[in-house]
Chain A
């Protein structure tokens, strides 16, 4: 069995030698380069824009503004069109850095130079700079493509139950705006041949984004071919088509040449979204024995003047604990920043900070162990639908992670553990993520050289999907993983689920499994019907895949290789089709992924920077496809959220609202020296209710709960409760 094995990534060699080809590495003859000019103001209008000097600059082919742009055929639908306003559509400016001109030249340097020569006359209006400035204007958004999650949920009467509860916690929690900060800046290369458009785009899904481009340019979808083989980090910011994706084909039409747009590092911070800042209140009511009676979770996030995009911080709350009376609400408020985007893990990671911090506060107030508090409120069934959970192993996660961490050594008294000048704190928090599935298609071709080829449009984002899906096909056909190759990242291939929302393993993985089974079935049918085959006349159900071929289940000696079978029959490839259709809302079971985190922090009592020296997490995600890539992905998710806990903060300028950490120098993410020991446990149970493969998603659940776990450990170490992320030294002085 290849599934479950700790196999190194199949593309690892290419990546470390530089042979891996990312979007920016694609070369097409005659490519011109476009640079996007961003607005210097955050609110107002372009009163005038003088492009004459830029147009005369060396190498310049075109300068496109709202005054001379071609029309878009239509506005493609949100949410996967990131902004509901098409770029350059009018003279209005809604946020700093919003694109107001496209400069196309022979070289990127020429375009950059010419962009400095564009003179813009702005009409400034007064911006709404920050979430705080807009907080009083918060509202429930009308449901639309972006506000997809219900804004309110209610069961019982939470206000009355809260008032009646003997113990209460009512606090406000804040999360900062965060940037995805991938290594790879987004890049799009587009060219037209008549009405056929070829587009290389750093996208997390060619099949989700291709129709958007087709609609915007008014061409049939099958005239657009979109490629993306590898993404150099996305974390959600490449799960949308941001304005540059539409500007590249527009510019290519104008100059009648291939045009590449690679946004600048600064534009990564302004032009491809962010996780919106939130202000949340959590009100908990409980009995003296820790049983939750009431829970109210209210969240407000900033959104742009263009769109109503929820950071769905309280959306998961109704599903997490067995609370009879509960009210959750999500509101938004308009600020002059760009539209936010999904960032690992949308909604849930911000929400878990508030909810799981509040639970820690409640445990402290009750004098109860925080883990015990969570055990007492364990949701044995989905509290929203009443359906049984599929494969929920959260209690086992609690047990195994607590034991590995040594939670029983914790003296509950804050400030009780020291080592020299270090204050030591232990904290924990839980996490939950609703499992999402999408239809996915793949084919698996058995070839007459005894290998197999997977064909599916999946994009490899670094999570290990190329490897795990190869393992699935290998097992399905009885081949070594090395005998499986993968054609991927091309919209001409069968449509994979997008590489976001933790859907690769469950959805695309299931499609590959079905395709491999279909190919195997075809091979078996061929063999049992072939007089020259040693398997001729056998019952197909008795034939199994084994070591590169087929054999009888009960008589291992009787069989033959795929190679022999196909060559004898003069068949180059046998194709198996896989079409995974999730059961959706009608399923018998409720599906989610679950996790728990335990964190040890050390804080020098004079110079209080929080160091996470040890972190143990356990996850319930069904079946683990590859122990190595899974551990790696979980560690990455944990580290990402340690950044959010301790340092990441996309600060807005308090006057203009412009983000003022425009480079990786300023926008701090953890460096290697910040990372302590991270131990990951998977409580495995193949979850075949979820899908044929038994695997649920990991990429997102691994990043839910870490911030609260750290904050709770900081409280344990210092007695100080920090309710506003990130927990920087100034908050601990």
Chain B
């Protein structure tokens, strides 16, 4: 670990000021990911700006519908109204990490957690994401955990978050504040695919911080579900996960969202699967078609062809359990 300055920010303005003044500055909230990255020599910030004193930890229901989660809400957020209105969100949160980590980890930090790609996490390997232009050891490496959608010749890593997959299915909006003002960034745009710049993982600017996440009122949110499939019963990242949300009226699907975790560098929205659902009856046949559609276009690496079949099955399972 490298020496660093530490400031406990009193307000958002102070945090932003340090971010804009010191290019090596980084925010720390729960620290559940950043501390590991620093210990492992992956991240070496010159200045840590502690945002735990900023408040930003409210769950606020909006008068026009929808809810706003403060960036500093913990991943252990267990709000009964939230659970009813957005079941997929609560389920995704509960499926992540361990109780201890959830008590510590923040909403904003969850979005910004780094990939678990072992080639990123071990500094001995070349990694374009960690060190732009250095190459990607994962391309010739063990790819069992890597992406099957949206990868590039520069990076094949996946985003590890469960929470973000639910946000993707709920059309959530990331709220940011920066020295140049506030922004509302739809979650699908917030995360970036690697392309030629895998080191840039989100739309967040250097001098910006996440202040919250807004979940709009939607016709499909109340009937939503998260299925996470992993190697052990608990405390493991997803091999593949699916967040689904479906609005059914008069027996017909009117609108739907299908988002996948563990398959891409961002929570992966499958519009093909959504299209297979909309306008059809939510029966076994439709569900199977949606599963197939979700897997279409997958480009597996050498060791992860199994994920393609898993996508089909996890999507089917999630939709079947919607009832």
**Is the CB of A183 closer than 8 A to any CB of chain B?**
no
**Which residues of B sit under 8 angstroms from A666, Cβ to Cβ?**
116, 118, 121
**Which residues of B sit under 8 angstroms from A590, Cβ to Cβ?**
none
Q: Of A109, A647, A672, A729, which is within 8 A of B310 by CB?
A: A729
How close is A254's CB to chain B, nearest CB, in angstroms? 24
**Is the CB of A660 closer than 8 A to any CB of chain B?**
yes
**Is the CB of A661 closer than 8 A to any CB of chain B?**
yes
B234→A113 contact, CB < 8 A: no
Contact segment of A163-171, A539-547, A627-635, A649-657: A649-657
B140→A728 contact, CB < 8 A: no
**Which residues of B sit under 8 angstroms from A655, Cβ to Cβ?**
137, 140-141
A113→B1 contact, CB < 8 A: yes
How close is B260's CB to chain A, nearest CB, in angstroms? 14
A671→B314 contact, CB < 8 A: no
B309→A606 contact, CB < 8 A: no
- Of chain A, the residue at the smallest CB distance from B122 is A662
**Is the CB of A219 closer than 8 A to any CB of chain B?**
no
**Is the CB of B323 closer than 8 A to any CB of chain A?**
no
A660→B122 contact, CB < 8 A: yes
**Is the CB of A597 closer than 8 A to any CB of chain B?**
no
**Which residues of A sit under 8 angstroms from B124, Cβ to Cβ?**
40-41, 96, 656, 658
**Is the CB of A607 closer than 8 A to any CB of chain B?**
yes
Interface residue count on the A side (C-beta < 8 Å):
37
B232→A670 contact, CB < 8 A: yes
Give the docked Cα–Cα distance between A653 and B140 (Å). Answer: 9
**Is the CB of A609 closer than 8 A to any CB of chain B?**
yes
**Which residues of B sit under 8 angstroms from A266, Cβ to Cβ?**
40
Give the docked Cα–Cα distance between A42 and B40 (Å). Answer: 19
**Chain B positions 1-55 with a Cβ under 8 Å from a chain A Cβ:** 1-3, 36, 40-41
A-facing mask of B105-122, CB < 8 A → 1, else 0?
A: 000000000001011011
**Is the CB of A665 closer than 8 A to any CB of chain B?**
yes
**Is the CB of B144 closer than 8 A to any CB of chain A?**
yes
Give the docked Cα–Cα distance between A96 and B137 (Å). Answer: 15
B231→A733 contact, CB < 8 A: no
A654→B142 contact, CB < 8 A: yes
B1→A112 contact, CB < 8 A: yes
**Which residues of B sit under 8 angstroms from A668, Cβ to Cβ?**
231-232, 236
**Chain A positions 642-690 with a Cβ under 8 Å from a chain B Cβ:** 646-647, 651-656, 658, 660-663, 665-666, 668, 670-674
A-facing mask of B225-262, CB < 8 A → 1, else 0?
A: 00001111111110100000000000000000000000
B-facing mask of A606-618, CB < 8 A → 1, else 0?
A: 1101010000000
A653→B137 contact, CB < 8 A: yes
Known interface pairs A109-B1, A113-B1, A651-B142; A673-B231 also in contact (CB < 8 Å): no
A609→B231 contact, CB < 8 A: yes
A729→B306 contact, CB < 8 A: yes
A113→B2 contact, CB < 8 A: yes
Give the docked Cα–Cα distance between A685 and B141 (Å). Answer: 53
B309→A660 contact, CB < 8 A: no
Q: Across chains A and B, which 9 residue pairs bring their CB atoms closest together, nearest first?
A: A730-B306, A673-B233, A660-B118, A40-B124, A673-B234, A674-B233, A733-B309, A671-B235, A606-B313
Q: Which of A's residues lie within 8 Å of B, judged by CB?
A: 40-41, 96, 109, 112-113, 116, 266, 606-607, 609, 611, 646-647, 651-656, 658, 660-663, 665-666, 668, 670-674, 728-730, 733
Q: 19 A–B contact pairs at CB < 8 A? A: A116-B1, A116-B41, A609-B229, A611-B233, A646-B231, A647-B232, A651-B142, A653-B125, A654-B140, A660-B141, A661-B118, A662-B118, A671-B234, A672-B234, A673-B232, A673-B234, A729-B310, A730-B306, A733-B309
